[in-house]
Structure 1
Amino acid sequence: MEQFTLNLIFVGITFAIYIGIAVWARAGTTAEFYAAGRGVHPIANGMATAADWMSAASFISMAGIIALAPTGGYEQSAYLMGWTGGYVLLAMLLAPYLRKFGKFTVPQFIGDRFYSTGARLLAVICLIVISITYVIGQMRGVGVTFSRFLEVSTDTGLYIGAAIVFIYAVFGGMKGITYTQVAQYIILIIAYTIPALFISLSLTGNVLPQLGLIGNYAPSGGDISFLAKLNQVVTELGFREYTSDTTNRLNMFLFTLSLMIGTAGLPHVIIRFFTVPKVADARSSAGWALVFIALLYTVAPAVGSMARLNLTTTMWPSAITANAVDGPAISRADIDSKPELSWIRTWEATGLLDIEDKNGDGLIQYYNDNAPADHPISKLAAEEGWMGNELVKADNDIMVLANPEIAGLPGWVIALVAAGALAAALSTAAGLLLAISSAISHDLIKGSIKPDISEKDELMVARIAMTFAIIVSTWLGLNPPGFAAQVVALAFGLAAATIFPALMMGIFFKHVNKQGAIAGMLVGLIFTAVYIFIYKGWFFIPGTNSLPDTAENYMFGISPLSIGAIGALANFIVAFVVSSFTEKPPQEIQDMVESIRIPRGAGAATQH
């Protein structure tokens, strides 16, 4: 069966499942639309939370970032530690208490806890900016995946994805989204792990990728470890050792911390814990989510490492048995004629892979053309008249999607990966769109503009807001702003510097008042946004330029990706200082904070 037909069958079946669930789980009340009626089982909620979090970035990009990072794979492990660690914070410090509060949205908690409409509106602004930034990438990821696997244009793929999300998100609300995300998690985890099992068995002789990563390299007879073989291959081509240490531990620490607290402050993830029946279920579902996330995140380093070795040994076939440059590289004629290299032509057509024969010798030289002059590869390049690295572009996003093709796996595995990538992108897009819809209908309309709105009208407004959010996100996906690919840091930075500190202080510090909370959020927001824009581009001021985005220009070597942790610290400090010089919160607010943290009746037996 042709690959296109297989892709169509696998993707079509999964879409039919999503639509069927949407019909079955249609939301009929605001409680079902916002929080699935608070009746989701912790295990199901754990799966849905994992799917909500593991977006196209986790499924498609993370392993690619680890694989192709010029600084090596070790430094990029911050993504794994930060994103997973954020769930530990969420499970231990936030989820149970927010569920006990009993509301629908994060801005509602912030507004009620700090007895301020202004605080609630500020949280709405941050939530919408964070969510819109994310959803652009998800919708664009849907279009790219469709364009590759279903042979349609990126724009057409985006329209199809938007239509599917519309069906199960607008009509199903949180109820429909939750059970759709359960199905999407099952699909994406199977799609991610099956290719990894095949590839690990081929390269290491171990069926478990986690063990294969630390095992031996099978094609060599097991006389060298897999990572040692990978280090040997990439260093011979002039690249940095794959397992090399970081050169800036402070920045790596702050980056990991920013990802952790940014994860714990992401509104579309937090609202998942409002859907379970009891407070204890919120902690339980967070634990299950960690288990389900770990199934992918412990495999990702192996996927990235094995993809890097597969790519390298494809470009230099002699690297499989000998030194990387002892034999000829692949030729343009090989790419055009050999079936096992057809994946190169396929991905070149998407624009995510680009090869250029710069010196016209018919061979494709893949090496680090910035290696030191005394490196053997640099000397060889000078002797042979190479004109530079001829693998001009290898986008991070191709590594997971193309890995089964590079490894020569069966067509049904490639089709499964396509379905999994779409499941990952659609599940997160739906969660983000619901967060935007809830912020507009529940926090903006009902919370500020029309408090007396009926439940029927609020449900209608929520669906209209969801439809509007889908239209806007689709338009942005079709016409992504120039900064979209550069400011993923903005979403995490804002969540870390605004939402997370507000939630932490709202739960654990009863003397923090509305003046302190608003001042802290504003300082965290402005400081973080300004620092990111200085290096990523002042896109909202025509004619202005950013500073060079290099470590030499960063303040104390702290990159824009890491600044969210400093913004959070500034938020905490300002909030505590302002609160200490202004009046304490009303007693009923302090009592509410106590009731959130301390179980009802605690200590009663010891009181006299």
Structure 2
Amino acid sequence: MGILAWTWILVGITFALYIGIAIWARAGSSKEFYVAGGGVPPILNGMATAADWMSAASFISLAGIVSFTGYDGSVYLMGWTGGYVLLALLLAPYLRKFGKFTVPDFIGDRYYSNTARIVAVIAALIVSFTYVAGQMRGVGIVFSRYLEVDIDTGVYIGMVIVLFYAVLGGMKGITYTQVAQYCVLIFAFMVPAIFISFQMTGNPIPQLGFGGSGEDGVYLLDKLDGLSQELGFHEYTSGSKSMIDVFAITTALMVGTAGLPHVIVRFFTVPRVKDARVSAGWALLFIAILYTTVPAVAVFARIKLIETVSNAEYSELPEWFGNWEKTGLISFEDKNADGVVQYVADKATNELTIDRDIMVLANPEIAQLPNWVIALVGAGGLAAALSTAAGLLLVIASSISHDLIKKIVNPKISEKGELMAARFSAAVAVVVAGYFGIHPPGFVAAVVALAFGLAAASFFPAILLGIFDKRMNKEGAISGMIIGLSLMFFYMAKYKLHWIGDPTVDTAENWWFGISPEGFGTVAMIVNFVVSIVVSRFTPEPPQEVQDIVEHIRIPSGAGEASSH
């Protein structure tokens, strides 16, 4: 059977499974819509969290970044994994004990202010829309290759599917769907990695294979260093980024992870505070399976790509090249008209343009694996993108229906009315997300990295100080969030989106402190902390009852039960 037939079969089976689960577990109340009724077992919540967190950026883009940037790409591995540990230890149990559905709900109540709540809603919407753009783009890329449609059509198909099970099932449907999606995506990522590791090194364990040697007896990493330098690229195993930028990006990704609303809300779906910690441990284990495999997949894919296309006759290139050329994600321009593909670092003579996002998806085809494996990777990419997109859409829906409409605009709204508002908000969010998926600011992982920067700049200081500083008041939190978010947004607009200033100027030379837009969330976060603390010390203390709540959520005694309010 061909790749297209296998794709229809595997995508059809997995989608039927997701939609079936969404119908079986559809939400009947607002509590089920927002937090799945708070009754999800920790191991299943760990799986759902892993699927929620391992988005299209992790599945599709991460190995692509590492394969092109080598050592420099390790900041994403360190930042995202470290951030998860930070979230599990510093934030999740305390937020769970506070007992609120959403991050804006926590900020609104902790800082006894609707203004704080509105600022948090705006921040949640900006972060979620920036992030979901990357997921929709990922869906479009997968559909464009495997269903042989253009990327825009792929995004439209993804919009319809996400809308169906996010709007119908809410958090309850999404949670159980994400458990299934985790199983699909991890299987889809590991099967080709095991195949290729065995093919290239004789070792079926990718984590060990990529540190081993090939049939020629040369270590894979030494071989890749040699190939990279021959073509004029940077040595794979050494970095080109400044140490301050590496530190800034890693920190921004870490604290951004810890402040991501769609990940935090997962800890409200378990019965007890203790379960929040346990499910965080399970999630870390499930995430580590993929993240420890990424460097191996990156090395395998890069070597295979260079050996297949560099200095090859264009007319003799294998079938996979033509398949991906149709999507526009890889292209050949014969500058010297000799019919030979010249793939080099020098832009003036390089004839091959490759989108980093294809590396994981094209890898099984390049390695000439069976068609069912190639189709399986497509199904896994869709599972990764759709699971995160659904989680993000839920955050957007709950921010509007619960935090804006119920808490501020119309406190007397009925349960049914709130549920309707949440579903309508999700529907509008899908349309906006689809637009950003068709017109994204950069490739998938870069867009997602900016979302982490925005979360770091806005949420992390407000949440951390809200838990650990009794003296932190609404004036400090509001001013810190506004300044942090504004600073990050200004920097993005100037150096990433080029909305401000002259876009023809080489912006990297003008970066503040030598820090890239992906890492600037760290600077904005520090400014947020400083502003929040200084302002809070020159303004009135929070009310005594708020200080008592802060004291209460940090006490381990009775930590087995969540607070009821």
Shorter chain as denominator, the TM-score bin is over 0.9
Alpha-carbon spacing, 1:49–1:548, altered in 2? closer, same or farther (3 Å): farther
Q: Distance in 1 between matches of 2:314 and 2:211?
A: 35
Q: Which residue of 2 aligns with 1:606?
A: none
Alpha-carbon spacing, 1:487–1:474, altered in 2? closer, same or farther (3 Å): closer
Q: Which residue of 2 aligns with 1:334?
A: 316
Say if 2:206 and 2:296, in contact at 8 Å, map to a contact too. yes
Q: Distance in 2 between matches of 1:436 and 1:314?
A: 44
Q: Distance in 2 between matches of 1:499 and 1:471?
A: 25
1:463 aligns with 2:423: yes
Q: Which residue of 1 aligns with 2:406?
A: 446
Q: Which residue of 1 aligns with 2:563?
A: none
Aligned ranges for residues 141-152 of structure 1 at < 5 Å?
A: 141-152=138-149
Residue 534 of structure 2, aligned match among 573, 577, 594: 577
Q: Secondary structure at the match of 2:237?
A: coil
Alpha-carbon spacing, 1:166–1:551, altered in 2? closer, same or farther (3 Å): closer
Alpha-carbon spacing, 1:254–1:102, altered in 2? closer, same or farther (3 Å): same
Residue 351 of structure 2, aligned match among 387, 390, 395: 390
Q: Distance in 2 between matches of 1:477 and 1:66?
A: 23
Cα offset, 1:484, TM superposition = 8.2
Aligned ranges for residues 32-51 of structure 1 at < 5 Å?
A: 32-51=32-51
Aligned ranges for residues 185-334 of structure 1 at < 5 Å?
A: 185-217=182-214, 219-220=215-216, 222=217, 224-316=218-310, 329-334=311-316
Cα offset, 1:601, TM superposition = 6.8
1:83 aligns with 2:75: no
Q: Which residue of 1 aligns with 2:520?
A: 563
Cα offset, 1:407, TM superposition = 0.4
Alpha-carbon spacing, 1:538–1:407, altered in 2? closer, same or farther (3 Å): closer
Alpha-carbon spacing, 1:484–1:120, altered in 2? closer, same or farther (3 Å): farther
Letter in 1 for 2:175: T
Letter in 2 for 1:346: N
Q: Which residue of 2 aligns with 1:364?
A: 341
Cα offset, 1:389, TM superposition = 1.4
Q: Distance in 2 between matches of 1:546 and 1:514?
A: 38
Cα offsets for 1:540-592 (capped at 9, x unmatched): x7xx5347454321122111111111111111111111111111111100000
Aligned ranges for residues 412-431 of structure 1 at < 5 Å?
A: 412-431=372-391
Aligned ranges for residues 468-547 of structure 1 at < 5 Å?
A: 468-478=428-438, 480=439, 487-539=447-499, 545-546=502-503
Say if 1:230 and 1:309, in contact at 8 Å, map to a contact too. yes
Letter in 1 for 2:303: L
User: How many equivalent pairs are there?
Assistant: 558
Q: Secondary structure at the match of 2:71?
A: coil
Q: Distance in 2 between matches of 1:517 and 1:188?
A: 39
User: What value does the CA root-mean-square deviation take over the aligned residues?
Assistant: 1.6
Q: Which residue of 2 aligns with 1:380?
A: none
Q: Which residue of 1 aligns with 2:19?
A: 19
Letter in 2 for 1:531: Y
Q: Distance in 1 between matches of 2:502 and 2:548?
A: 50
1:64 aligns with 2:61: no
Q: Which residue of 2 aligns with 1:375?
A: none
Q: Which residue of 2 aligns with 1:55?
A: 55
Say if 2:134 and 2:440, in contact at 8 Å, map to a contact too. no
Q: Which residue of 1 aligns with 2:510?
A: 553
Q: Secondary structure at the match of 1:245?
A: coil
1:598 aligns with 2:555: yes
Q: Secondary structure at the match of 1:85?
A: helix
1:126 aligns with 2:123: yes
Q: Which residue of 2 aligns with 1:7?
A: 7
Say if 2:471 and 2:542, in contact at 8 Å, map to a contact too. yes
Greater relative CO, 1 or 2 (CA 8 Å, sep 6+): 2
Cα offsets for 1:132-154 (capped at 9, x unmatched): 11112211221221111012233
Q: Which residue of 2 aligns with 1:319?
A: none
Cα offset, 1:525, TM superposition = 1.1
- The normalised TM-score by structure 2 is 0.96
Say if 2:83 and 2:256, in contact at 8 Å, map to a contact too. yes
Alpha-carbon spacing, 1:115–1:297, altered in 2? closer, same or farther (3 Å): same
Cα offset, 1:244, TM superposition = 1.1
Q: Secondary structure at the match of 1:599?
A: coil
Say if 1:145 and 1:418, in contact at 8 Å, map to a contact too. yes
Alpha-carbon spacing, 1:547–1:125, altered in 2? closer, same or farther (3 Å): farther
Residue 162 of structure 1, aligned match among 159, 162, 187: 159
Say if 1:490 and 1:529, in contact at 8 Å, map to a contact too. no
Indicate the structure (1 or 2) with the bigger Cα radius of gyration.
1
Letter in 2 for 1:105: T
Alpha-carbon spacing, 1:482–1:577, altered in 2? closer, same or farther (3 Å): closer
Alpha-carbon spacing, 1:557–1:434, altered in 2? closer, same or farther (3 Å): same
Q: Which residue of 1 aligns with 2:332?
A: 355
Say if 2:166 and 2:390, in contact at 8 Å, map to a contact too. yes
Q: Distance in 1 between matches of 2:248 and 2:419?
A: 41
Q: Distance in 1 between matches of 2:165 and 2:39?
A: 18
Cα offsets for 1:96-148 (capped at 9, x unmatched): 01111111100000010010100010000000011111112211221221111
Structure 1: gaps of 5 or more residues: 317-328, 336-340, 371-386, 603-608
Q: Distance in 2 between matches of 1:547 and 1:524?
A: 27
Q: Distance in 1 between matches of 2:68 and 2:256?
A: 24
Alpha-carbon spacing, 1:410–1:308, altered in 2? closer, same or farther (3 Å): same
What percentage of residue pairs aligned between the two structures are identical? 61
Cα offset, 1:456, TM superposition = 1.6
Say if 2:96 and 2:268, in contact at 8 Å, map to a contact too. yes
Cα offsets for 1:322-366 (capped at 9, x unmatched): xxxxxxx2112212xxxxx11111111100001122111121122
Structure 2: gaps of 5 or more residues: 560-565
Say if 1:547 and 1:553, in contact at 8 Å, map to a contact too. no
Letter in 2 for 1:498: S
Say if 1:354 and 1:394, in contact at 8 Å, map to a contact too. yes
Segment of structure 1 superposing worse, 167-176 or 549-558: 549-558
Cα offsets for 1:175-196 (capped at 9, x unmatched): 0000000000000000001000
Cα offsets for 1:356-382 (capped at 9, x unmatched): 221111211222226xxxxxxxxxxxx
Cα offsets for 1:231-273 (capped at 9, x unmatched): 1122122221110134411110111000000111110111011
Letter in 1 for 2:365: E
Say if 1:55 and 1:428, in contact at 8 Å, map to a contact too. yes
1:343 aligns with 2:304: no
Q: Secondary structure at the match of 1:571?
A: helix
Say if 1:489 and 1:532, in contact at 8 Å, map to a contact too. no
Cα offset, 1:158, TM superposition = 2.3
Alpha-carbon spacing, 1:103–1:601, altered in 2? closer, same or farther (3 Å): closer
Q: Distance in 2 between matches of 1:487 and 1:135?
A: 9
Q: Distance in 1 between matches of 2:267 and 2:187?
A: 25
Q: Which residue of 2 aligns with 1:379?
A: none
Alpha-carbon spacing, 1:275–1:397, altered in 2? closer, same or farther (3 Å): same
Q: Distance in 2 between matches of 1:451 and 1:34?
A: 17
Q: Distance in 1 between matches of 2:291 and 2:447?
A: 23
Cα offset, 1:504, TM superposition = 0.2
Alpha-carbon spacing, 1:484–1:60, altered in 2? closer, same or farther (3 Å): closer
Cα offset, 1:532, TM superposition = 2.1
